[in-house]
Structure 1
Amino acid sequence: MAATLTVLRDQADRPVFSATFLLRRPPEPDERLTDLVESATLALTLAAGTDQATTIRGCHIVLLGEQDQLLAEQASTDPFGTVALEATLTGSDAVAAMESVLSGAPALRVGAEVDLPPQGAPPVPLTVHLAMVWDVLEARAAVGRVFRHADLLGAVPALREAGAISDGGQSPEAVVGALVTAGRWVLELTDDGDRRLSRTRPPDMTVTTSLTSDVSAPPPQHRTLPLTELIEADMHENVHVVVAGGGEVRPLLPLRRARSTRGPTAGLATTLKVTAAGGGLQSIAAALRPGVVARPPASTVATLASAHTAELTVQPLDLIELNPIRRRPGPDVGRDSGTVDRDWWQDRWTLGKRWYVRRHRLTVPETVADLAQSPFRFEITSEPGHDLDGRPSIAATVTVRLERGPSEEAAGSTEELNVVPDAETEYRLRIPFVDEHSQTRRELFAAETISHDDASTTLTFRLRDTWARLAYGALSTPGFQSEPPQIVATTTFHGWRKTSGTTWTPGTLAGITKISSLAARRTRSSTPKIPAMHSLAGATISPTLQHQLTEATAVLNVQDVWEQLVALDRVDLVVPCATHGDLYRSSTDGESTAIGCQPAMQLGQIEYKTYEPVEVAAADGWAAVMRSLRTPGTFLVVPDRYTVGWSEPDGARPYAPQLLVHSTIDIDNPTQMRCIVAIGLQPDLPRFVRARILAELRELHPQPRLELPEDTHHEPALTVVAPGSVTVDWAATSSGFDLVCESDIAGFMALKTLLDRGGLRGSVTWPLPGGVRAASDVTISTAAITGPFEAGPLTVQPDRGSQRITNEVAIPVAVTGLERDGVAVTAVDAVIDPGEQIVVTSEDSDPGMLPVYSLSSAGHPIEEVRAYIEDLEVGVVFVTTAKPSTAGAAGLEVTAHFEGRDLPAVTLTDTARQAEVRLHLPLTSYIADPQLTYEVHHLADDGSRTSTPTRTWAMRSQGALVPIDPAQNT
């Protein structure tokens, strides 16, 4: 296998090659072009490949100069090996280029390195049975259910044996790589790069992907050729020599490199030039060839010299206009190239007349009231099938209405405005993306429909699957790619363009003929014609005729030509979904709904139905039951209500209500008080109800399992109606919800009243996949306390043919029976007070009996349920207003009492005139402005003691500082 390298040809079978050489000045006769060359510009499109492979992985092309100096290089990943190589050379490199192109010298060389694709077997299909994969890995899962790469490699034999995968015997490395892609929602990616097995068993689904063969690619193929071997004989039209001067670049004659075995002097004589002084006759084409001086045969020169050595002159030809210009109206674009960069021009012939190309703009209003009138709309629809990544197939229709007309610059004149002649516009949607080499590329999509009116154009584009998702991301999210998407409007039209060209202008060419036919040619029509120049290379001139020989050369002039031109107009197309979310729609069964902002690559993902309701009589009044469609045997139980719960027996506060009050107290300014009420909510779903539900579900599955909404790990939404001054925060827990209510003192009093009476009301919902909605009521009241959820409020212990039932909570419980596995065993009719127990005779005296009960709802004021309240610590300070000695006392002893208990006595003296007593009391007691009672005892120097009557002090309203006047206690 060998590399190949050729110059590509266009659709007209013309070589895609050009060479332009810039000279310092026009050459003199017999002057070498290589002495005048300033620079050389080469541009050619090459096709690299091999003599066998039809496609390649990539190629690298280099242009080499003397001593393998790198002059230019270009790489390509095109599978057909197409590479555009361009180089601008100066100095000796430019000379080497001229010698290679015009003289056929091997000065420059072109090298190619071709990378071949792997030559292994075709991709092997891999079939993955998700449920079976989950079963095999579940049996091998360790603590944490995490599988490292080595663990998955070790599991491949077991997966094959169980029939969970079908891989055609590929390597375990390839199988694991495809497995983690195909089963990404069975093996979830962890932060450490490992894989964690999902908690729930997937449905019986199969995913098919492919395994790439592990065969390495063949070594690159190399090929180096002289540039002259790549340039074919018919490429002379693409070779140009230009001269810089007077602020312009003027072309000389087109050149053609001779390919002849007669040596470097062989060539085509295109123009004759006669010099009287030297008697020489030479072709200009030969004069322009580097390093070559070519002269005609000696017989021709001798004939001219003998006949007209002294009288021979060179006169200019009479010019004849071969292509007269029609005065057709149109824009004069000046020296612009075929693609213009302006949008208006003056008319070529008429002053005051202006031509313009329509420009486009998109204007989306801040608020779109009528979607049908919106200038932009993006709508997706589901299509049959899925792509290779398992994503559902979708189609996106992008509708854009562009306003069109002259630009502000073009319209800012009183001149007559006209649309450019023969204007035709094509519209494309350009979507940027990043390829596998992290390079930004662009894909263009032609408009599917185009409609115009006087001032606007409406376009529709249709994209599928990945392109639809990439378009949604780029259109809806600013900065989604490194450049914005655009509408590209390409307008073609006709106009006048100035061009520097070469025009042959023959005049009267008389007497230049072969000697054998002079008389006959003198009688023919005088219509000037261009003779066949190659026939003049050996011609002789009759001495009996008067000649008018002129330098038959190319006249370099600037012409106005009527040709087709192109104008580009680009309109950025970013419509943020954050502000225009209603313009992004999803259409299902003819109904269109807004999708707003979504992850672009998940667009169109179908949330498969995961649960379906089932009728369970035992759950009536307690819960709704739904069957899991992803995990057979699992049933979701949605409680009808969540209420305040009793703490579990193994908690910090066994069998205590989950209702606590915390406060921040400002003694000096009671309005600064803040009260925080912490509430724990549990499902109101007793154990005996759950046992009844399981017993009934055994008719649907032999081993049913129950799960609560908290076990689904879907984000709930909870709302509680509270007084305006109360703020409510909440967090989901594994067994329900924790609420924190914060308020000032007035709000707490209102909250306390609600908790003691009707309670707070609310609701909680869980949006489950597949459009399933789970919802429960929320009741927060001291009169509705449930649980504990796991242990229950009663304990049942077998005792010699009987069962002992104990009430562990602080409210009465009514018991109506004992059950096992949802089946009644013993009837009971008793009310058990807090801390009490009863013994019930029962034939079934084994452990595991569940009591059937109901909790008392008589209501409990919050201050009476001391477990609800967290005590406050308040400091009371006794201060003497003067020294006790001024009243003749050695000291003052103060004894205080609060709520029936004596407080530690304090003694005030001249040196210790204040003392503090610390009190612990409930918040509700402090709010009620409790009173402190105290007596002051006068201590004399002789040890005698005199006491004052008992006094009272309101701690909240009067403050924490109690003044003691020694004069009033004598």
Structure 2
Amino acid sequence: MGDYSSYNFYWYVPSFELVAPQAAAPAAGSPFRYSYVVSGHDDDGDPVITATIMITARTVMTEARRNQIINYDSEVPLDPDKGLPVKFEQVRAQLVIPYREAATGAAASGTVTAAPATTGRDIYTFVFTVSGNLARAAYGSLSRPGYQQVPPRLLMNFSFNALEYGDHDYLAQKFATDTLYSSVRLLSDPLLAVPGNSDDPGTVDAWDGEGGAAPDGSMVYSPVSVTQSQSLDVVIPCADFGNLYIDATDPAHENAIGCQDTMALGKIPDKLYTPLEALATDDYQVFTALGRPSVYLVLPRRYRVGRAAPGHPGVPDWSPLIMWIQMFDATQDIALPCRLQANLQPDIGHAELTAVKTALADLTAHPTLLLPTSFASGVTGFGVTGWNNPTSSPINATRVGDTIQIGTAMSYADAVVFNELLGIAAPEGHLVGNATFTLSDNSALGPVELYLDVTRLAGPWPDGPVLATSSGAAVTLENHAESEVTVTRLFGNLPDGSSQLVADGLDITLPSGGSADIAVNAPPGAQLAARYTLADATPAVVAQAHVYVEDLHTSIIVNNDAHMDKAGIASVVIHARLDGDDQPHTFTITPETQVFHCDLVQPLGRTSKADSSLLHLQATVHRAGQPDTETGDYLADLHKGVLYQLSDVLATP
């Protein structure tokens, strides 16, 4: 080889190191992946899984190798940056998976051979296929440090061509009669080509005697194949990289499994959530989703009458979302003329949710937080008991988005008693309901207290009444609550989805309607949320609407619970009419519409034998901007309530 004449040119044997995944990076393109499919069931009916494990390694010059080259005894000092790694002719990999024998408890291991490696420059990707309980053992030891006494090992055997320095005839005899032992120089030193000092690159003038002396003194470099091996520990913690452990049984809907019981892989979890007691406070509980990494459910301990967000239709900004509607009709005696409507909101806000994200930072960089009212929470049922209502009127509760809508109707006499209770705290538990959320695993979350009084309000959900905005090195705080607040902490939600504590130990008191500027450097682009305590206040005034019936007014509410985006529905046109009316009232609901209020009017003097308590609703579904399907006639009895679910209307044949 012509390179032999250069004293400062050499090759070295590189080492392997794992290519580690990046925290919070997407699974697509990751250098590591564990995925499994349920390939069948055994004779006990338990699922049998087949796992595919992808591990990536790369070749590098280690610091030890670099120092070895620098300190090599050579006539000319070697530059470690001028060497080239040898080209590997073959690289074979095995994954050694530790486990314990079930019968004896003795340590054992299973070895799986990788498919031929795919390479790209200095990158080698190995793919292993393993089935049954060994696949479960691999998941456990790969995903949990300390799961076994020893971690899984990636064992690599690799070979490369080199040149042996020795006597030509002696080497030829060794090749013909025995396995040629590689030169000590080749195995212990980084140099695989040593510069010669002869005009003939295949011979040298002198030799140190390795391999034996030759009769004619002819010394050459002869080709040999060298095989070496290296072992690497492989542990990719599921607590940090849960999205890289995947249930791929349904390839169209792969599901990241995170940290699970190893023997439960392929089985439907017995429970959807388990509580994180360390994160529980007086205001909320936190649950981690089993089988869904980085997903957590926050359960508020209370819902209270909410405040109106700025721009809420029909009510002043920041006012309580509760109202009496009194009906006066000179033509007939209405048995229950007083109707109360209220919107209850979680008694937490952005600051509490950001505090949860910050507390979860050690578990996951970008947690997904759900409420029990969220679409993906797994809640299938909702019920309210209690209330301790001194009147005989039932109180109805319905989930509307992330809030709970309350409604009840009663006589004048009962309304007087009820209204008095709204303005006082409830030490006796009056007008406090207990809500329970039922999950698809048949477990329940709760009870959650529902407060109908107006001595303390919540919301607007989720921002709250205290706003924090950043401008350079200052933060402006504004208090829109009905009482004095004391701000104690500031949190920031960052553009990448993470959160952090921006300021702690604050003691800033703001009167109702007051504001203040404080010297705080907020992270660029952060959405700020203030943690505060609310002082006692005079009970809010419950608004009253008096309806004098000259024409017959019927107010209805349609709750959008249909998850239109997921169903590919662009809009729904609703045609609403009272029984006997020829002309329906038409309105449109889009995916952004949470609740739609509609007022239907009938002339008082009309002559009709129709039943004015019957409501007809019919819907036209639009997809891609065009009418798609029409529903049948949904018939409702107004005596039984005025709140209707869009999903019920859409399901009418």
Q: Same fold (TM over 0.5)?
A: no
Computing the radius of gyration from Cα coordinates, the structure with the larger value is 1
Decide which structure has greater helix share. Answer: 1
Highest relative contact order (Cα 8 Å, sep 6+), 1 or 2? 2
Q: If the length of structure 2 is used for normalisation, what is the TM-score?
A: 0.40
